[in-house]
Chain A
Amino acid sequence: MKYLPLVWAALWRRKPRTILTMLSVVVAFLLYGLLTAVNAAFNTGVELSGADRLVTTGKYSITQVLPYGYWQQVKNMDGVEQVTFASWFGGYYQEEFNFFPQFPVDPQSYFDVYSELTIDEDQLRAFVTTRTGAVVSKTLADRYGWSLGDRIPITAGIWPLADGSNSWEFDLVGIFDTRDPAARSQHEYMLMQHEYFDEARQFGQGTVGWFISQIRDPEQAGQIAQAIDAQFANSPNETRSDTEKAFNQSFLKQMGDIGLIIQSILGAVFFTLLFLTGNTMMQSVRERIGELAVLKTIGFSGGSLLMIVLAEALLLTLMAALIGLGLAAFLLPGLAENMPGFSGLALDLEAWITALLLALLLALIVGLPPALRAQRLSIVDALSEHA
């Protein structure tokens, strides 16, 4: 475009104003990038959940424990292929902010049901046979620099040892990963032997947190879930079964509707931005009505003036949006490293495209009114007012 130098020069007519406006657009898109990535990370849990898995928890809360004995009963249900279980350990490593989930599980069945996990045969065998054994995700091992044979101290938050101490120790015997790297943030935790946990803890013997059943036919999920819950109805420990997807969704909901919160924040930010950039563009055009009239005098058509002003708005928002998104993309890996459960944190193509469309929309909204004004400008009026 031949007019680009014209547009470029006009953009920097008042440098401080343009820079301040651009900064606010940069910050808005930085925020957009970060929040979108966080939102996406939350949602991958829902998207990646197995369609053929049911989660059975206490009827009223996932913190209600269930009898270990249910395991066999669920395994015996029609349509259920295999079943495993887990409990919430709720401890931390060294410092409280080193938080990541730990689950006491039945090693063999856990890795059978979660077939998306990969672990070396020998390491799995070691996990099955080592009482104080533990396995961690590769992401955690990388973050804390653990290797096989390390003794990992975990301070209990819920379950003290029989002697009242909170200082548990586990021997790292294996490191697992996911087949699909995108699923890594969903499996960022430590697993230990339920058997050892159950014996060593001070109270709560004979209970587990929840069951995970793999079913033969995902189409039957609803019926099987009902059958499981019916089985335990009217017992002291009623259950609630759901697909893993629904379970993950309701888990997210308990934290509040992340998507809605993020959308509200971004909505407010962009609404403010409309006024800010809109005002800048309006002012910029108002100040050079005379110059625009000269361009028209020289022979520029109304249409080209419209395009020139729109291009100016577009240049402003697109450049700022790209800088903001670039910053977000640059910052996300560092954030991911410090936030367990978010190791996949990144901007996907969709987020980039959406953001650039947003920048385009912003440019149109704030650029169109002054652009139309430039287009309709009457030379004679503008020149006589200017003189």
Chain B
Amino acid sequence: MNKERFGEIDVAETLVRLEGVAKSYRRGNQDIAVLDALNLNIERGDFLALMGPSGSGKSTLLNLVGGLDKPTRGSITVGDARLDQMSGGQLARWRAHHVGFVFQFYNLLGVLSAEKNVEVPLLLTKLSKAQRRKHVATALDVVGLADRARHKPSELSGGQAQRVAIARALVGDPDLLVCDEPTGDLDRSTADEILNLLQVLNRDHGKTIVMVTHDPKAAEAARQTLHLDKGKLVEAQGVAA
């Protein structure tokens, strides 16, 4: 973890800072406001659950935090990076080193084995083949899938596939993990396993996690929950970790 990046400025505990963020999409000749004047601080080491009705802008917010998209207005700071001021290419380079993504449908590359899937983000680094292999083995070990390294995604269960996806998100050792409904496609017990894994990553590996979920039980796994409604944040009632 890179504490000195924050230096003397007193934001040592803030990893993600959104100020006055608005996001609207253009559909036809109409602007649809999805997020409006949104402020949010996420502390380093937090595990935040984002809930809210469908279409409330959860994925949109997550994409902004992960640097997949840029806000229409406002500033987004992650670590020492001003995401809203970066070009597409700069954002891509930033994502490669600072954030890991986990999606509802795993989004693994079907033609590659589990270990090759996990290796993909490392292809963007200067690591040697041997180093890459070592990192991949470690990541698969963390998610408990070392024995499935050679399997293709089609040969894995949903829970196993999601573990591979988490290993892929982890392998570059990012500070931040963003997860969009990571348990949305899994049954209860498999979902619980994945949530446990995320808790371990948060607690023991120091990963800051932002997770969108529809599942209140999933939200319980997080340290705190925020509700999004019509593009506005509402503090959760009665959810504490």
Q: Which residues of A contact B (CB under 8 A)?
A: 2-3, 5-6, 9-10, 12-13, 290-291, 293-303, 379-380, 383-384, 386-387
Contact = CB atoms under 8 A, between A and B. Distances in A.
Contacts of B103: 383, 387
B221 interface: no
B93 to A, nearest CB: 7
Contacts of A383: 68, 103, 107
Which of B66, B68, B168 neighbours the largest number of chain A CB atoms within 10 Å of its CB? B68
Nearest to A293: B107
Contact of A9 (B69, B112, B124): B112
Interface in B93-140: 93-97, 101, 103-105, 107-112, 116, 120-121, 123-124
B89 interface: yes
Given A9-B112, A290-B107, A298 B124 contact: yes
Contact of A302 (B89, B97, B109): B89
A191 B59 CA distance: 88
A296 B120 CA distance: 11
Interface of B: 59, 63, 66, 68-69, 88-89, 92-97, 101, 103-105, 107-112, 116, 120-121, 123-124, 168
5 contacts: A379-B63, A383-B107, A384-B59, A386-B107, A387-B103
Nearest to B88: A302
A301 B112 contact: no
Contacts of B108: 294
Contacts of A296: 92
Contacts of B68: 297, 379-380, 383
B109 A9 contact: yes
Contact of B69 (A3, A13, A301, A379): A379
Contacts of B105: 386-387
Contact of B123 (A3, A294, A301): A3
Contacts of A9: 109, 111-112, 116
A2 B88 contact: no
A234 to B, nearest CB: 82
Contact of A299 (B95, B110, B111, B116): B95
B89 A297 contact: no
A301 B107 contact: no
Given A380-B68, A387-B104, A298 B95 contact: yes
A298 B96 contact: yes
B101 A301 contact: no
A291 B107 contact: yes
A37 B9 CA distance: 75
Contacts of B89: 301-303
B111 A12 contact: yes
Given A2-B123, A380-B63, 18 more contacts: A6-B109, A6-B112, A9-B111, A10-B111, A12-B111, A291-B110, A294-B107, A294-B109, A295-B109, A295-B120, A297-B68, A298-B96, A298-B101, A298-B120, A299-B97, A302-B89, A379-B63, A383-B68
B69 A298 contact: no
Contact of A298 (B59, B104, B112, B121): B121
Contacts of A295: 109, 120
B69 A299 contact: no
Contacts of A299: 92-97, 121, 124
A291 B124 CA distance: 16
Contacts of A387: 103-105
B72 to A, nearest CB: 13
Nearest to A292: B109
A51 B168 CA distance: 72
B109 A380 contact: no
Contact of A301 (B93, B109, B116, B120): B93
A13 B94 CA distance: 30
A279 to B, nearest CB: 20
Given A298-B96, A299-B121, A5 B116 contact: yes
